[in-house]
Amino acid sequence: MTVDAWLLGAAMALSPLAVLASLLLLTTERGTTKAVTYAVGWVVAVGSIGVLTVAAASTVHASPGSTTSTVSSWLYVLLGVVLVGWAIRRRVAARDGAPEPTWMGRLDGMSPVVSLGFGLFMPPYAIAVAAVNSIVHGNAGGPAADVVVPVVTFTVVASLGVIVPVAFALLSSSSDAVIARGREWLLARWSTVLFWMLVVVGGYLVAKGVYLLVT
């Protein structure tokens, strides 16, 4: 797995909204079950993104006259712009007094089936696509089978933020207190943490894409 994929996987794992959603679900009625199905949905979504991105990259590579490296570089730039734009939009909305995401108030009444769909919706798709794009770009010219293990590894790394809280809740007798502290800390800071994460990751992707285009 490429260095970029490791870094982007870590960014997804530490995404404040992803972790906060897991912690909030764990404190609701039937919380463990809902947190488990949320984690399953997340893993399925990230894995699907990996498969679809690899398939799309293979199509581009097979197209007559296509330049895979150039397409990959522009994809970095586009995804970086999307992330920075999302960060700015969120910051402006926060300054205008925008309320917290509506899903935060719906977790108590959410069924395990709905939380599965919630997990499918929550991953930051732009970061996942950028990571798999890095894996595919690093395997340029190699057999498609060589990306299977890196994509699976990325999926696991990117999912740790939703898997670890559930595992901790199931295995630790002191999980309730720790989860409560983590939930309160993130509730107070998630917006700021998310803004800077998106700016840093988005800026990095733009810089990398531009660098690859001019070298």
pLDDT score at 96: 66
pLDDT score at 64: 42
32-46 pLDDT, tens digit per residue, is: 999 999 999 999 999
147-193 pLDDT, tens digit per residue, is: 888 999 999 999 999 999 999 988 877 788 888 899 899 988 888 89
pLDDT score at 206: 95
pLDDT score at 90: 84
What distance in Å separates the CA atoms of residue 179 and residue 198, rounded to the nearest whole number?
25
Cβ atoms of 53 and 133 closer than 8 Å: yes
What distance in Å separates the CA atoms of residue 47 and residue 76, rounded to the nearest whole number?
20
125-135 pLDDT, tens digit per residue, is: 999 999 988 88
pLDDT score at 174: 75
One DSSP character per residue, 84-146 reads: HHHHHHHHHHHHTTPPPPGGGGTSTT--HHHHHHHHHH-S-HHHHHHHHHHHHHHTTTS-GGG
pLDDT score at 97: 64
62-120 pLDDT, tens digit per residue, is: 444 445 678 888 889 999 999 999 999 888 877 766 667 778 878 888 899 999 999 99
pLDDT score at 65: 43
pLDDT score at 187: 87
Is residue 145 pLDDT above 70, yes or no?
no
The tokens for 44 are: 């399925």
More confident residue, 47 or 67: 47
Closest alpha carbon to 166 in 44, 35, 24, 40: 35
| Residue 104 burial (CB count, 10 A) | 14
Terminal Cα-to-Cα distance of the chain (whole angstroms): 23
**DSSP single-letter state for residue 83:** H
Specify the length of the chain in residues: 215
pLDDT score at 188: 87
What distance in Å separates the CA atoms of residue 196 and residue 189, rounded to the nearest whole number?
11
**DSSP single-letter state for residue 27:** T
pLDDT score at 140: 67
Identify the band that residue 56 occupies on the pLDDT scale cut at 50, 70 and 90. confident
pLDDT score at 103: 82
